[in-house]
Amino acid sequence: MSDMQQIIAVTTLVCLIAGGAGAMALSGLRGRSTMVLVVVASLVPLVAVSLAVFVNVQRMFISTHDSTVVLVALGLAGLIGVLLSLVLGRQVAAGSTALVDSLRTLGDGGVPGPDASRGASVSSELSDLWRELDTTRTRLAASEQRERALERSRRELVAFMSHDLRTPLAGLRALAEGLEDKVIEPEPALRQMRQTVTRLDGLVGDLFELSRVSSSEARSPNDTALVSLVEVAHDVVGELEQHAQQREVDLRLQTHGDDDRLAVTGNGDELTRLIGNLVGNAVRHTAPGGSVVVRAERSPDGRTQLSVLDECGGIAEPDLHRVFEAGWRADPERSGDDAGAGLGLAIAKGIVESHAGSISVMNVEGGCCFEVALPAAERVS
């Protein structure tokens, strides 16, 4: 066997022995600190190289001067490797510890950035993980805020509906007792009972409709067809015109030229209910002598837009974001037939979203403006 072959064989044997010992050491240290594992993993190749060089230097019978130089250089390189592994191990361990501490505060809105965690400089991977955790924290906070808003809306809705159902039921009971005791006339009592039952049926229908448009199955409307938004708005205005006259409210529809009939693809009944809810709400909250204007037009981005402007006096700025919540009312003290159940705008929002549109509200001079934008379809022939 030549000298070169002997050197290769000895080097391979020493490295295999050192590598096996290192693997056994890492296995025995499983579960220990990251710094310890990094130091051990860094020392194993250094020890392997040092032993291989030392053994080969002894076998090569080089001069004491040359072997001393080699061993000193090897020792210094090993020392540098140990120090660097300690520094790296401390950085990784500090970053990991800070990350664990941040995870503990994730549910409380924590997760500070890496620069704020004990001054530890972390790797780009840990920095990316920190950013992902911060994004997750933001999403959790937003989700929690939405959940609280939904819970608040649910409580208000239950309170309002309980009141709105209890009042007519109490009236029905009083009428029934009066009829039973024969202290009231049957004909007017029956007429009032029929009106009360009609109102109760409307409340239950609103609840059912809200549940339907809010469910995941209702994200796309059924029985879709090309619908002229102008024609639907014209029909709704015609149906509510008498009610508006009774309230001394000027209700009118405005369209711009012969801009086709503003066709959309959707469910005609749902779109009729959408516009009816918006216009009816505007008429109900506009004082006598005021006006409600319904505008149908093409928006600058090519969508079909419907606007309902009223003279209700406006909505308080803190309440603008709550307008479409189920059960919300501008005046919680209002009740009776004229107050509504507080579900109309929530149902309108659900219908718009199921038609891939958007709905918004803003205060204007003297009142507010509801805007609905729906994807335009081909012209209705």
Lowest mean pLDDT among 40-44, 242-246, 305-309, 351-355: 40-44
Q: Which of 308, 312, 314, 343 is nearest to 328 (CA)?
A: 343
Q: For the chain, what percent of residues have pLDDT higher than 90?
A: 15
Lowest mean pLDDT among 112-121, 283-292, 301-310: 112-121
Question: SS3 for 225?
Answer: strand
In angstroms, the CA 89 to CA 83 distance is 10
Q: Which amino acid is at 327?
A: G
Per-range mean pLDDT, top range of 67-76, 178-187, 222-231, 273-282: 273-282
User: What is the pLDDT, as a whole number, of residue 341?
Assistant: 56
In angstroms, the CA 70 to CA 275 distance is 90
Pairing of strands 291-298, 250-255: parallel
Q: Mean pLDDT in the chain?
A: 78
CB atoms closer than 10 angstroms to residue 359:
21
Q: What one-character-per-residue DSSP string does 204-220 give?
A: HHHHHHHHHHHSGGGSS
Residue 342 has pLDDT above 50, yes or no: yes
In angstroms, the CA 133 to CA 104 distance is 12
Residue 243 has pLDDT above 70, yes or no: yes
Mean pLDDT of the region 93-122: 60
Q: Which residues have C-beta within 8 Å of that of residue 12, sequence separation ≥ 6? A: none
Mean pLDDT of the region 294-300: 89
- Confidence band, pLDDT 50/70/90 cuts, at residue 380: very low
CB atoms closer than 10 angstroms to residue 149:
13
User: What is the pLDDT, as a whole number, of residue 206?
Assistant: 75
- Which DSSP category does 259 fall into? -
Model confidence, pTM: 0.56
User: What is the pLDDT, as a whole number, of residue 119?
Assistant: 41
In angstroms, the CA 255 to CA 68 distance is 99
In angstroms, the CA 339 to CA 373 distance is 27
User: What is the pLDDT, as a whole number, of residue 306?
Assistant: 92
Mean pLDDT of the region 109-137: 62
Mean pLDDT of the region 6-21: 76
- Confidence band, pLDDT 50/70/90 cuts, at residue 283: very high
Q: Say which residue, 178 or 68, is predicted with more confidence.
A: 178
Conformation bin of residue 259: beta by default, left when phi > 0, alpha when psi is -120 to 50: beta
Beta strands across the sheet bearing 250-255: 250-255, 291-298, 304-309, 367-374, 358-364
Mean pLDDT of the region 104-126: 55
User: What is the pLDDT, as a whole number, of residue 224?
Assistant: 80
